[in-house]
Amino acid sequence: MNHSNFLPINKKDLQKRKIQQLDIIIITGDAYVDHPSFGPVIIARFLESHGYTVGIISQPDINNDNDFVELGRPKLFFGISSGNMDSMINHYTAQKKIRSQDAYSPDGKIGLRPDRAVIKYSQIVKRLFKGVPIILGGTEASLRRIPHYDFWSDKIRNSILFDSQADILVYGMGEKQILQIAQLLETKNLSEITEIKGTVVKIRYISQNDRIIFLPEYDKLFNKKKFWQMSQEFENFYRTKTIMQKFSGFYLKHNPPAMPLEQKELDNLYSLPYSRKPHPKYKKSTIKAFEQIKLSITSHRGCFGGCNFCSIGYHQGKTIQSRSIKSIISEIETIKRKDYFHGSISDIGGPSSNMYQMTCKIGISRTCKRNSCIYPKICENLDHSHSYLKKLLRTIKKDDELKNIFVASGIRFDLALKDEDYIKLISKNFTGGLLKLAPEHKSERVLKYMYKPKFDQYLEFYNKFRNFSKQVNKSQAIVPYIIVGHPGATLQDTIELAIYLKKSNVRLKQIQEFTPTPMTKSTMMYFTGLDDQGNKIHISKGRELKLQKALIQWFIPENRKFIIEALVKAKRKNLMRFFLNK
């Protein structure tokens, strides 16, 4: 079994490499897939590229200490992450039922990572390796870095930094912060590492100055009113000022975000020697998440869409960080040499695929208090040209070895409408029959709560895409993503959406049921029942969610009784025949 192209995972690997003691050990809740789509692996390879020896402990058994001591005691620190997903979202549906599969585990096996993985891993390491610094990172830590509403326990939980007993929390993508921490720990004590941008730390003493914002103290009386106030203050200042919050004799210190990577830095990150395969220890097991991304390319990071239900802006930031065309082509050449390449690239994109190379003309994307650069209207300071992206796609299209190249990650249709040539290009060359778009709803009022563009813009894009597809004799369709149960959405709103879907004969097999995820504005609305302005809004729970879902899936026979109930409850019995006739 050849492990030479992978990071060390056990004592045998260390012996082969003649490593007596690793500098850093990364613990992750994902299976070990050595690929740049897996966050902990990017961090490990990045640290390795700067001269550190790094090992990986993947999906350790929390009931078996041997899994945690396999690589020994690191010189500098343990880095702990739940993996690419929050462990609670990974485990449970919006109805709090256990999911049947974990896409990040071999053969989809459930239970290889614990609930609240970051906390449990950290507490075990704290017990086994006294005095070794623990650094948290990844999505679960990043989005739970301040007190947050936890849907699964239905209460406000403290910052995960306190609950885990860790030393430093790295939020965001993390490369710059983790390297700085590693370098400082070679000569300094933990207590001296409190100023790094993109980190959250615990301190005992503070000095008052005008660059510090104090959030309401976290205590047992932390109610909905305090949570609403905290959320507003955090949103207004976290990009530009240091934020403090008192708790039990300590202060949680939230430093401003780290600087985004420059293009050369991002290019270098994706050129590191990833094997681009699951570790050989998994033998013939299938890791679904890898199968989904092994032929895809990340062209950029960040999103300035600012959707209220989305956490990407709090994690990756608003600033778009784009790779060069040369770097992307180089990665395609690497993929072409893999045995799993059969002529297609499954996706080229980022959080929103058509934000590649878009920038703020006046260079204030990091500090601007505007949550979205495109809602309610596109900012005049945004360079929203698709010319860079079109050049990228047309350059790649010239490669005769590529039979198919798809853009499968979400297209922001309000941006795309600014460039019909881009829509035409996608329709002609980069769609595999079905294009996924996210109008999310039809109601203008609900879309305002979501921070999403008007439905008319979705229809405009739909019609242009359909017409361009006809011009090139391609039979293609758009599959809309819909959210039910978002704060503010009523049965009446859902009925109007369902009317459109039935009239258009759109039969959605999958619907996203709103799940309150840590740190988002929509979650704040769900918990407090208040919008951004402090006004009361409708919150759908329990039976009503089932009725909303049935309306959207109007074509399923088993939903008939729920549709009847929904129409009666909404006093819309006049629509019975419309919905119940085939």
pLDDT digits (tens, 9 = 90+) for 296-311: 999 999 999 999 999 9
The CATH number of the domain holding residue 317 is 3.30.750.210
* Cβ count within 10 A of residue 481: 14
Q: Which residues of 44-89 form beta strands (DSSP E)? A: 54-58, 77-81
Coil, helix or strand at residue 519: coil
- Write the pLDDT tens digit of every residue in 144-173: 999 999 999 999 999 999 999 999 999 999
Whether 148 is in a domain gets the answer: yes
Rounded to 10 deg, the angle between the 491-503 and 543-552 helix axes is 20
> Is the pLDDT assigned to residue 210 strictly greater than 80?
no
In single-letter form, the type of residue at position 300 comes to H
Starting at the edge strand found earlier in the chain, the sheet holding 477-484 runs: 434-440, 477-484, 512-513
Q: Does residue 417 sit in the same domain as residue 448?
A: no
Q: Are 278 and 32 in contact (CB under 8 A)?
A: yes
> Is the pLDDT assigned to residue 207 strictly greater than 80?
no
Beta partners for 25? 55, 78
Q: Which contacts of 57-60 are long-range, i.e. CB under 8 A and separated by 24 or more positions?
A: 57/9, 57/25, 57/26, 57/27, 57/28, 58/9, 58/27, 58/28, 58/30, 58/31, 58/32, 58/279, 59/28, 59/29, 59/30, 59/31, 59/105, 59/112, 59/113, 60/27, 60/121
Q: What is the mean pLDDT of residues 245-271?
A: 96
Q: What is the mean pLDDT of residues 329-340?
A: 97
Q: What is the mean pLDDT of residues 116-142?
A: 98
Whether 482 is in a domain gets the answer: yes
Whether 254 is in a domain gets the answer: no
- When divided into structural domains, the chain yields a total of 3
d(CA 468, CA 216): 54
Q: Does residue 427 sit in the same domain as residue 456?
A: no
Give the pairing type, strands 77-81 and 134-136. Answer: parallel
Q: What is the mean pLDDT of residues 373-392?
A: 97
Q: Does residue 406 sit in the same domain as residue 456?
A: no
Q: What is the pLDDT of residue 581?
A: 82
Q: What is the pLDDT of residue 453?
A: 96
Q: What is the pLDDT of residue 97?
A: 94
pTM here is: 0.95
In this structure, the dihedral spanned by the alpha carbons of residues 88, 93, 97 and 103, taken in order and rounded to 10 degrees, is -70
Whether 107 is in a domain gets the answer: yes
Q: What is the pLDDT of residue 433?
A: 87
CB-based burial of residue 97 (10 Å sphere; 0-12 exposed, 13-18 middle, 19+ buried)? exposed
Q: What is the pLDDT of residue 8?
A: 98
- Write the pLDDT tens digit of every residue in 387-419: 999 999 999 999 999 999 999 878 999 999 999
Q: What is the pLDDT of residue 62?
A: 98
> Is the pLDDT assigned to residue 130 strictly greater than 90?
yes
Q: Does residue 450 sit in the same domain as residue 510?
A: yes
> Is the pLDDT assigned to residue 2 strictly greater than 70?
no
Q: Does residue 399 sit in the same domain as residue 453?
A: no
Q: Does residue 44 sit in the same domain as residue 134?
A: yes
Query: Which domain-ending residue is among 171, 192, 213?
Result: 192
Q: What is the mean pLDDT of residues 110-124?
A: 97
Q: Does residue 165 sit in the same domain as residue 91?
A: yes
The CATH number of the domain holding residue 467 is 3.30.750.200
What sign results for the dihedral spanned by CA atoms 18, 24, 27, 33?
Answer: negative
CB-based burial of residue 186 (10 Å sphere; 0-12 exposed, 13-18 middle, 19+ buried)? exposed
Q: What is the pLDDT of residue 221?
A: 78
Whether 250 is in a domain gets the answer: no
Q: What is the mean pLDDT of residues 442-458?
A: 97
Q: What is the mean pLDDT of residues 82-106?
A: 96
- Residue (of 310, 280, 238, 289) closest to 40 by Cα position: 289
Q: Does residue 46 sit in the same domain as residue 158?
A: yes
Whether 300 is in a domain gets the answer: yes
- Write the pLDDT tens digit of every residue in 502-529: 999 999 998 999 999 999 999 999 999 9
Phi then psi dihedrals of residue 387, to 5 deg? -60, -40
Tokens of 122: 């950290």
Which range of residues forms the domain containing residue 545?
A: 437-582
The CATH number of the domain holding residue 129 is 3.40.50.280
Q: Which residues make Cβ contacts (< 8 Å) with residue 312, sequence separation at least 6?
A: 302, 303, 305, 351
Band the pLDDT of 251: cuts 50, 70, 90.
very high
Q: What percent of the chain has pLDDT over 70?
A: 98
Q: Does residue 355 sit in the same domain as residue 450?
A: no
Whether 252 is in a domain gets the answer: no
Band the pLDDT of 205: cuts 50, 70, 90.
confident
d(CA 578, CA 563): 11
| Matching residue, tokens 């007993």 | 165
Q: Does residue 495 sit in the same domain as residue 532?
A: yes
Query: Which domain-ending residue is among 391, 415, 432?
Result: 432
Band the pLDDT of 220: cuts 50, 70, 90.
confident
| Average per-residue pLDDT for the chain | 95
Q: Are 82 and 96 in contact (CB under 8 A)?
A: no
Q: What is the pLDDT of residue 582?
A: 67
Q: Are 88 and 111 in contact (CB under 8 A)?
A: no
In single-letter form, the type of residue at position 454 comes to K
> Is the pLDDT assigned to residue 34 strictly greater than 80?
yes
Is the omega angle on the peptide bond into residue 376 within 30 degrees of 0, that is, cis? Answer: yes
Instruction: Give whole-number Cα distances, 329 to 268, 269, 275, 394, 397, in Å.
Output: 13, 14, 17, 12, 11
Tokens of 131: 């005095």
Q: Are 14 and 253 in contact (CB under 8 A)?
A: no
Give the pairing type, strands 199-203 and 250-254. Answer: antiparallel
Query: Which domain-ending residue is among 176, 192, 208?
Result: 192
Whether 486 is in a domain gets the answer: yes
- Percent of residues in the chain assigned helix, strand, coil, to nearest 5: 35, 15, 50
| Matching residue, tokens 């850093």 | 24
Q: Does residue 410 sit in the same domain as residue 491?
A: no
Q: What is the mean pLDDT of residues 232-259?
A: 95
- Residue (of 512, 522, 88, 517) closest to 309 by Cα position: 522
Q: Does residue 396 sit in the same domain as residue 452?
A: no
Tokens of 42: 């990017």
Q: What is the pLDDT of residue 1?
A: 46
Q: What is the mean pLDDT of residues 360-376?
A: 93
